[in-house]
Amino acid sequence: MRALLLDLDGTLLDHRAAADAGVRSWAATLLEQVPVDLPARWAELEERYVTRAERGELTWQEQRRHRLTELFVELGLPSALDPALDEHFAAFLTHYQRAWTAYDDVEAAVASWVAAGARVAVLTNGVHEQQCLKLEVIGVLAHVEFVVGLDQLGVGKPDPRVYAEACRRFGLPAGEVVYVGDDVARDAVGAHQAGLVGVWLNRLGLPVPPEVDRVVRGLDEVLALLSA
């Protein structure tokens, strides 16, 4: 049986829903009226600056500070120096964490993988400590062999080195590892180009780009790929 490597945010945990709820409730502590489009703007800033951290251009803490600095200017809030920015981001994280939830198919899917004796690990572009906490909160950590986070290598998906590190930890050649995630470039295509079996988790039934070889609509379809 092949080993299973998983993305976390957007695959096991509904990151977007949690981030949207978190930024709204956090902003309500600073503003009399929270802009309707704030979650969408927060998502744009996250994508821009996390991508730079994935490339090694910024540290994880620096990307957080850049996001807040830009947002504060747009919202007309007083600018803050780095320590204050860190405190503000920690406050956002408190609200974000309260909204962490797993997707509906996670519990049953994980149970099926465990029952089949599959080896399971997580490769994520988040920081290791926080991502382990997420897995613990949603009840998955006990079934995960290891977690590779962006902060451990200094770069993230789709850099081929991170997939290679996960395969090294499994002690398996890349072709014996199935990688499943919700992001086309970072997950399906990046894993495929690194020699893994790259699978796109397409929960919304979106059009499939030509560069994607394998697609599943839910985690319940993954077990069949491990024995294929």
Residue 80 pLDDT? 75
**Domain assignment of residue 85, given as a range:** 15-98
What's the pLDDT at 83? 85
Q: Are residues 59 and 138 in the same domain?
A: no
Among the residues of the chain, which ranges form H helices? 15-27, 38-54, 60-75, 82-98, 106-115, 128-137, 150-153, 160-170, 190-193, 223-226
Q: Clarify whether residues 219 and 109 are in a common domain.
A: yes
Q: Give yes or no: residues 127 and 217 share one domain.
A: yes
User: Distance between CA 60 and CA 72 in Å, rounded?
Assistant: 19
> What are the phi and psi torsion angles at 142 (to 5°)?
-65, -20
Q: Are residues 48 and 76 in the same domain?
A: yes
Q: With a cut of 70, which residues of the chain have pLDDT below it?
A: none
> Could you give the 3-state DSSP secondary structure of residue 196?
coil
Task: Assess whether 43 and 146 both reside in one domain.
Answer: no
- 68-71 long-range CB contacts below 8 Å, 24 or more apart? 70/45, 71/41, 71/42, 71/45
- Would you state the pLDDT for residue 24? 97
The reported pLDDT for the residue numbered 53 is 92
pTM for the complete prediction? Answer: 0.93
Amino acid 6: pLDDT: 98
Provide the angle, in degrees to the nearest 10, between the axes of the packed helices 60-75 and 38-54: 150
Radius of gyration over every alpha carbon of the chain, rounded to an integer in angstroms: 18
What's the pLDDT at 227?
85
Q: Are 163 and 157 in contact (CB under 8 A)?
A: yes
Confidence at residue 82, expressed as pLDDT on a 0 to 100 scale: 80
Where a domain ends, among 48, 74, 98? 98
Residue 202 sits in the same domain as residue 113: yes
The pLDDT value given to residue 81 = 78
Q: Answer whether 13's CB lies under 8 Å from 134's CB.
A: yes
The total number of structural domains that make up the chain: 2
> Which of 98, 117, 147 is the last residue in one of the domains?
98
